[in-house]
Amino acid sequence: MPEIAPGRLLVAAPDLEDPNFQRSVVLVLAHTDEGTLGVVLNRTGELPVAEVVPELEGLAAEPASVFVGGPVQPDGVVALAQVDEEVDGVGPVAPGLGVLDLDRETGFIPPEVQQLRLFAGHAGWDAGQLEDELAAGGWFVVDGEPGDAMTDDPEHLWERVLRRQGGVFSTATADPSTN
pLDDT at 106: 57
pLDDT at 157: 97
Instruction: Give yes or no for a contact between 116 and 79, defined as CB atoms under 8 angstroms apart.
Output: yes
pLDDT at 53: 87
Instruction: Give yes or no for a contact between 26 and 40, defined as CB atoms under 8 angstroms apart.
Output: yes
Is the CA virtual torsion 68, 70, 74, 76 positive or negative?
A: negative
Instruction: Give yes or no for a contact between 44 and 25, defined as CB atoms under 8 angstroms apart.
Output: no
The whole-number average pLDDT for the span 10-17 is 94
Eight-class DSSP state of 21: T
The tens digit of pLDDT for each residue in 105-164 reads 656 788 899 999 999 999 999 999 999 999 999 999 999 998 999 999 999 999 999 999
pTM, two decimals, is: 0.91
pLDDT at 69: 98
What are the sequence ranges of the domains in the chain? 8-178
Amino acid identity of 152? D
Confidence of residue 179 (pLDDT cuts 50, 70, 90): very low
Q: Which CATH topology does 8-178 take?
A: VC0467-like (3.40.1740)
Looking at the chain, list the stretches that DSSP marks H as alpha helix, in order from N- to C-terminal side.
49-52, 129-135, 157-165
CA 161, CA 155: separation in Å to the nearest integer? Answer: 12
CA 2, CA 155: separation in Å to the nearest integer? Answer: 26
Looking at 98-144, list the stretches that DSSP marks H as alpha helix, in order from N- to C-terminal side.
129-135
CA 42, CA 117: separation in Å to the nearest integer? Answer: 11
Q: What is the dihedral of CA 100, 102, 103, 108, to 10 degrees?
A: 90
Residue 170 has pLDDT above 80, yes or no: no
What Cα–Cα distance (Å) separates residue 24 from each residue in 40, 91, 104, 118, 162? 6, 24, 30, 17, 11
Which of 134, 140, 144, 149 is CA-nearest to residue 168?
Answer: 140
